[in-house]
Amino acid sequence: MGNKETIVDPRGPIIFDIRNLWAYYGEKPAVKGVTCKIPEKRVTAIMGPSGCGKTTFIRCLNRLHELSPGARVEGEIFLRGKNILEIDPVVVRRRVGMVFQKPNPFPTMTIYDNVLAGYKLLGIRLRREEADRLVEEALRKAALWDEVKDSLHKRGTYLSGGQQQRLCIARALAVKPEVLLMDEPTSALDPKSTAKIEELVVELKKTVTIVIVTHNIAQAGRVSDYAAFFYLGELVEFGPTSQLFTVPRDKRTEEFLKGKFG
């Protein structure tokens, strides 16, 4: 079990305060008693071998986990001091956006409508200029504007995989979330698109907190300020990336970083 010395509280403002979080599929726990604090406007990387509960963990943070059949969550997750397990999940998901492993733009919508999906699907009406402005702003933030500004009214699915993933980032950013969860956002992409998304992640932390799951240790090293290491559902170690990478406090973290498993 992760003990006090291996879980280091971040300095500066905290956005998520997670206390003794357990997440189950049926009777089987996939996240076991995780306690940690996620720093605001920083990139936090979630690492660990396959099946250790990384995806399950971040899906608790926007309450997507509970939609899996038989899923259950215990513990507390404070988002700016309010336990999100006690507020309407729909509200939580507006504040905590998510980008998935495989790009998933809406196939029936244009690029423009995809970006505005967070408004259109909820029936929120926008004035034309406001909509245009939101689309441009989100696409610029997602570093996609220059590539698509002349084809905004084409289907989102016509874009390349990497572009589709940035479109999904733009879609998540358009509703102005406080946190952006990313579950291995580059694992389905080529190296060039991956580099682009990594750059983007570093750029985005100026305005939004990022929690990114990654299988790629080097990627965690490049983009993250803080890193968490999960093993068999437990949070083994949490701390500044530089510290965790150079002087890991737990033997399992060290072995993982050396490529012993995963």
Partner 1 sequence: MRSILWRKFKDRSALVVITVLAFLPALPLFHILYGIFRLGLPAFSWNFFTHLPTPPGEPDGGVGNAIVGTLMLSMLASVLAIPVGILSGVYLSEYARGRFGEVVRVAADVLQGVPSIVLGIVGYLWLVRPMGHFSALSGAVALSLMMLPVIVRSTEEILRMLPYTLREASLSLGVNYWRTVIKVLIPTGLVGITTGILVALSRIMGETAPLLFTAFGNPFWNFNPLQPVDALPLTVFKYAISPYQDWIRQAWGASAVLTLMVLGLNLISRILARRLSGDGK
Ligand X SMILES: Nc1ncnc2c1ncn2[C@@H]1O[C@H](COP(=O)(O)OP(=O)(O)OP(=O)(O)O)[C@@H](O)[C@H]1O
Residue 51 binds ligand X, judged by CB under 6 A = yes
Other beta carbons within 10 angstroms of residue 152's beta carbon come to 17
Q: Which does 182 bind (CB under 5 to 8 A by kind): ligand X, Mg ion, partner 1, none?
A: none
Q: By C-beta, is 163 or 219 nearer to ligand X?
A: 219
Closest approach of Cβ 53 to ligand X, in Å?
Answer: 4
Q: Which stretch binds ligand X (CB under 6 A): 4-12, 50-58, 76-84, 118-126?
A: 50-58
- Helices 191-204 & 161-174 angle (0-180, nearest 10): 20
Q: By C-beta, is 44 or 55 nearer to Mg ion?
A: 55
Pairing of strands 28-39, 14-25: antiparallel
Q: Which does 12 bind (CB under 5 to 8 A by kind): Mg ion, ligand X, partner 1, none?
A: none
CA distances from 48 to 170, 207, 224, 226, 250 (A): 27, 27, 15, 14, 13
Q: By C-beta, is 62 or 214 nearer to partner 1?
A: 62
Residue 12 binds partner 1, judged by CB under 8 A = no
Strands (E), the chain: 14-25, 28-39, 43-47, 71-79, 82-83, 96-99, 179-183, 209-213, 226-231, 234-240
Q: Which of 18, 30, 99, 111 is in the footprint of ligand X by CB under 6 A?
A: 30
Residue 29 binds ligand X, judged by CB under 6 A = no
SS3 state of residue 102: coil
Q: Cβ distance 37 to 14 under 8 Å?
A: yes
Residue 56 binds ligand X, judged by CB under 6 A = yes
Residue 104 binds partner 1, judged by CB under 8 A = yes
**Which amino acid does the sequence have at 189?**
L
Q: Which does 30 bind (CB under 5 to 8 A by kind): Mg ion, partner 1, ligand X, none?
A: ligand X
**Which amino acid does the sequence have at 15?**
I
Closest approach of Cβ 94 to partner 1, in Å?
Answer: 4
Rounded to an integer, what is the distance from CA 84 to the centroid of its chain? 16
Residues lying near ligand X in the complex (CB under 6 A) are found at 25, 30, 48, 50-56, 68, 215
